[in-house]
A and B are shown apart, each in its own frame.
Chain A
Amino acid sequence: MSLSEKGWGIRARVEKKNPEWYDIYLEKSEYRSAEVENSKISREEISQEFGYGLRVLSNGRIGFSYGTSLDEVDATIDRAFSTARHRKVLKHFAHPPSIKIAYSRLDEDEGDLAEILLEELDKRTEENEIHLNGSLGWGRVEKAIINPGSEANESAPIYNFSMSATIAQGRGFDMYSCKKSAKLKKWIPEVTERAIEIARSMSGKKEKEVGKKELLIHPYALAQILEYGLMPSIVGDRCHRGESKLRKGLMIREGLAIRDADEGLADWKVDDEACPSTKADIIDGEIKEFLYDLKSSWEWGEKSTGNGVREDFRDEPSIAPRNLYLDLDEKGDVMEDGIYIYDVLGAHTINMETMDFSLGSSICWTIEKGELKPLRPVILSGNVLEMLKNSIRVSKERKEIGGLGGSIVLPHLRTGGVRIG
């Protein structure tokens, strides 16, 4: 039975209970991975999941439950109705636009990826001083979303590879995600080599002096800072509750553009509640718009921006960007002197209300006349908005980080707006 057919069966049972509105989200996934520990493949995993999340609107209130067995659909429907009892009335409920879509992203099978990883590890058996730990994963997700006016079915493959290398007291890592196995095949050696290169460059004697220098931030470090320091503040629901410092029209910086787009690793045609994925210009110099899902749009009288995202079938949708792009029109030269930050520690501790941060970094270098020298761990203190105001882009090249649930696409940034200690 196809995923949509399973959904039709659930729909027939839900409709018998006469909800004012409903949606059924079904998800099926199979994911395989090979785990590398100490330069050997120590484990292979295969996980299969199937489940459905069910929302019903009853007396103007939303209820939710989920299940993993089609034998228990009626009990799941009853629980969804039961949880609606005490929930708030959604004053601005309106039926979302109708949509019918079926879209499957295909990929040619390029052979056994675990064998390619094994070959890569075999090449390095002589390099005893290097410890490699990482993960290679590949799989496919299929989603079906059914509500009274819409039916969507999409599927996509995903390939991930990450590798961490340690050499003496030096650590490095790199990662890559894509939707074509041929691409990942090419990247397995490159990511491994890059992780080793970074670990080697960090394994020397560490510089102690920091001084007052400009900062060069790698997309990995920047992604962490923006995930915890900016994304919560662009969520419409939090803005309406006064939990965000940002407001429409607030000028951040001429030439700074942050947008959520429908192209990238999470390029689904619709979001996880069957609203069309659209482009949202969140910042274009000033704050232009915030992100909404259906529930927040019904609560605050706004329009969904197609940003209802579920971690999986177990979750009600919540608001999150799909493919977040940051760009700056001003380009600076490659830095000859400064500090280069590759990772940050403790990004989840960023104050999501004030956007202030005080973070560590343990993969970092001083740049002296264009040459990198390993640096002791440092503390970075600042504010995300101030950092963005004082930043310029270094290159046009951007790194995409993430997966099918959401990605972020970033350049290297130069900034003077962060204190280093």
Chain B
Amino acid sequence: MTDKNSSAMEKLMSKILGDGAEYADIRAQRINEKSYIMKNRELDRALECFEDGVGFRILKNGSWSFGSYCGMEPKPELVSKHLPGGEVKLADAEPARGEVSWKAKKEWDEDEAYSMMRDMDEHMRVGKAERSLRVELSTWNLDTYFLSSEGSDIHQSIPYSTISIKCVARENGAVQSYSQRFGNVGGVEIFDEKELMEEAERCSKTANLLLSARAPPSGRMKVICDQDLAGVMAHEAVGHAAEGDLVANGESILEGKIGKKVANELVTIVDDPNRKGMGSFVYDDEGVRGREKKLIENGVLCQYIVDRAYGYKLGFEPNGGARAESYGDVPLVRMSNTFIAPGKWSLDELLENMGNGIYLMGSRGGEVDTTHGSFQFNAKMGHLVKNGEIGEMIRDVSLQGSILQTLNDLIALGKDLRLHPGFCGKGQTVPVGTGAPHILLKNGVVGGL
């Protein structure tokens, strides 16, 4: 931060504290972004931009006031009047002073990005069907200064890069698509070009195969989920239900279940910003150091994800669970990298153990109703499994269920944990990692057409 901006933040802090606030913090942020979208070998969109802005919070009379604005000039007038009746109190957290500067080892330049996207497009030109191709590359850096009235003074800079590909295949009136996303914290160096080209080819081949895939069966059956789909399940079904704000506000099926068995004893589910993934950070957006949180350990619910306010309310130490999309958003209780810890089985062993059932692969996304404890995920594709052998391909298949029932129906875990890049929406969108090994469910509820 320049000296001018630094002095602007100090000025803002002194003004917003002036009226008897119990606590205040400021996030001043610079966002740099480059993004490109290629459709059928031609660059359809390109954006290079940066912006500055400030978000600040004040706690007074048991309620928060949050103000945000573009630019760095202090705007203390954006403090609201604090209605009475709030009950917010903060759990103690050691004020932190730190400098975290994760740098991309190699940054994208436009020519390089364009060339990489053209190569991926070229590798997607396989299969007989007519096709429509899309390659999207995004890279952005969040450079955040955090100051609090308790003395925290943190600078944290994190670069991100993602590449997404999609093939829409058409043949004899049928249309199907397949897509993949790759990404992590970092720059060009996080991608292996050879692997990307192989994945690009596989993406198109799969879209072509889906044209002749059959509709899935419906009903209860044994299900193996791959790492991508099982990771989304860990995030959607368990991670969201373990968010302290939902728990404290009567909106989670996991409320009141700390120390109780909620899953098969094989199951350990962790949220950890220290593991490398799209959800990595050192300090959260209220200056608390991110830490590993075992949400479920050996089937027992151990802790919730909390920020300082919900930590106080639920009786937990703050565990680095406060995240905001940008300076314009208030920090909320959010996940980081959430995953099911691995077991001991190979995929072949899981298939053999299952015998007959269904093997679901990839995630089109999902949604959870944490209050009722029900969830809905859609797989990108799947296969019927007969006598442990992978058979016919299936399309448009969904997996639905009750969170608690499904956690108990999880009867075997693979050893092949993999973390995927994702984005989580909760009014705001933040980058997250979702991961798991292959998992076997004994009684999955499968739906489709």
Task: Give the interface of A toward B (CB within 8 A).
Answer: 32, 34, 37-38, 40-51, 63-69, 76, 79, 82-88, 114-115, 118, 121-122, 131, 133, 164, 166, 169, 171, 241-243, 245, 314, 316, 345-349, 351-354, 356, 358-360, 362, 377, 379, 381-383, 419, 421
Contact = CB atoms under 8 A, between A and B. Distances in A.
A381 B448 contact: yes
Given A63-B46, A242-B168, A44 B80 contact: yes
B158 to A, nearest CB: 20
Nearest to A299: B44
Nearest to B46: A83
A351 B9 CA distance: 47
B49 A314 contact: yes
Contacts of A115: 83
Interface in B162-212: 168, 170, 175-177
Nearest to A89: B42
B114 A86 contact: yes
Contact of A48 (B75, B88, B365, B371): B75
B47 A83 contact: yes
A353 B177 contact: yes
A150 B327 CA distance: 34
Interface string B25-58: 0000000000000011011111111011100000
Nearest to B118: A86
Contacts of B68: 45-48
Interface stretch (B270-278, B336-344, B374-382, B407-415): B374-382
Given A131-B251, A241-B168, 18 more contacts: A38-B249, A43-B88, A45-B68, A45-B330, A46-B66, A46-B79, A83-B47, A84-B46, A85-B110, A87-B43, A88-B44, A115-B83, A118-B84, A241-B132, A351-B177, A353-B175, A360-B375, A360-B376
A40 B87 contact: yes
Contact of B396 (A131, A241, A358): A358
A281 B245 CA distance: 44
A349 B49 contact: no
Contacts of B245: 37
Contact of A242 (B51, B170, B402): B170
Contacts of B8: none
B172 to A, nearest CB: 13
A69 B132 contact: no
A354 B45 contact: no
A76 B397 CA distance: 45
Contact of B52 (A43, A69, A83, A345): A69
A351 B49 contact: no
8 contacts: A41-B63, A85-B110, A86-B43, A169-B372, A243-B177, A345-B369, A379-B400, A381-B447
A353 B168 CA distance: 8
A318 to B, nearest CB: 9
Contacts of B402: 377
B449 A356 contact: yes
B449 A383 contact: yes
Contacts of B43: 86-88
Given A41-B86, A377-B400, A362 B168 contact: no
Contacts of B168: 241-243, 353
A408 to B, nearest CB: 19
A46 B88 contact: no
Interface in B336-382: 364-369, 371-372, 374-378
Contacts of A32: 80
A229 B86 CA distance: 41
Contact of A44 (B63, B132, B250, B378): B63
B176 to A, nearest CB: 6
Nearest to A72: B50
B142 to A, nearest CB: 15
Contacts of B290: none
B365 A346 contact: yes
Nearest to A347: B367
A32 B447 CA distance: 42
Nearest to A167: B250
A245 B177 CA distance: 12
Contacts of A360: 367, 369, 374-376, 398, 400
A114 B83 contact: yes
B284 to A, nearest CB: 18
Nearest to B70: A68
B48 A82 contact: yes
Contacts, number: 230
A162 to B, nearest CB: 11
Contacts of B46: 63-64, 83-84, 86-87
A345 to B, nearest CB: 4
Contact of A82 (B110, B328, B372): B110
B371 A166 contact: yes
Contacts of B87: 40, 42
Interface string B251-267: 10000000000000000
Contact of B48 (A49, A83, A345, A352): A83
A354 B396 contact: yes
Nearest to A377: B374
Given A64-B47, A316-B45, A354 B64 contact: no
Contacts of A346: 365-367, 376-378, 398
B251 A166 contact: yes
B127 to A, nearest CB: 14
A181 B52 CA distance: 32
Given A316-B47, A353-B168, A345 B396 contact: no
Q: 5 shortest A-B CB distances, which residue pairs?
A: A131-B250, A360-B376, A349-B378, A358-B398, A44-B80
A86 B130 CA distance: 25
Contacts of A419: 218, 449
Given A349-B365, A360-B400, A421 B40 contact: no
A111 B114 CA distance: 54
Contact of B85 (A67, A118, A169, A351): A118
Nearest to A78: B48
A52 B365 CA distance: 33
A377 B48 contact: no
Contacts of A38: 248-250
A359 B369 contact: no
Interface string B80-100: 111111111000000000000
B428 interface: no
Contacts of B49: 65-67, 76, 79, 314
Given A41-B63, A356-B449, A242 B132 contact: yes
Interface string B210-221: 000000001100
A152 to B, nearest CB: 22
B431 to A, nearest CB: 17
B51 A68 contact: yes
Contacts of B365: 346, 348-349
B228 to A, nearest CB: 14
A34 B374 contact: no
A272 to B, nearest CB: 15
A359 B175 contact: no
A108 B168 CA distance: 50
Greatest chain B CB density within 10 A among A38, A46, A171, A348 is at A46
A383 B396 CA distance: 11
B316 interface: no
Given A41-B83, A243-B175, A349-B365, A47 B328 contact: yes
A421 B328 contact: no
A351 B111 CA distance: 33
